Amino acid sequence: MVEWARQIGPQCGQVVQYILAHKPHPEQGFRSCLGIIRLGKAAGQERLEAACGRALRFGTCSYKSIKSILEYGLDRQAEELELPFPTSAHENLRGHNYYS
């Protein structure tokens, strides 16, 4: 099944491998994995691969999560921008030493 998912893309293969590895019995993950692979027929393999990549980044490797990513078009969004840390000193910033 992992090889079948890798035909879609490496990230899809990683998601399927993750699901099968994190179930007490691999057979419990078969339906989820087949559902994920089937999502590629409706949404397209490129979109599924992007959705799997997003799911891997956020640690949400499940059929429900990947389906939601595709439904809301989150696979097409650019990476979230990280907010830069302030570079200038400010009287309200305590720094990491304060919490030691």
Say how many residues make up the chain: 100
Give the chain as a DSSP string. -HHHHHTT-HHHHHHHHHHHHTSSSGGGGHHHHHHHHHHHHHH-HHHHHHHHHHHHHHT--SHHHHHHHHHTTGGGSPPPPPPPPP-S--TT---GGGG-
* Confidence label for 89 from pLDDT (cuts 50, 70 and 90): low
Lookup: tokens for 78 = 């650019």
What is the tens place of the pLDDT at every residue in 30-49? Answer: 999 999 999 999 999 999 99
Tens digit of pLDDT for each residue in 48-74?
Answer: 999 999 999 999 999 999 999 999 999
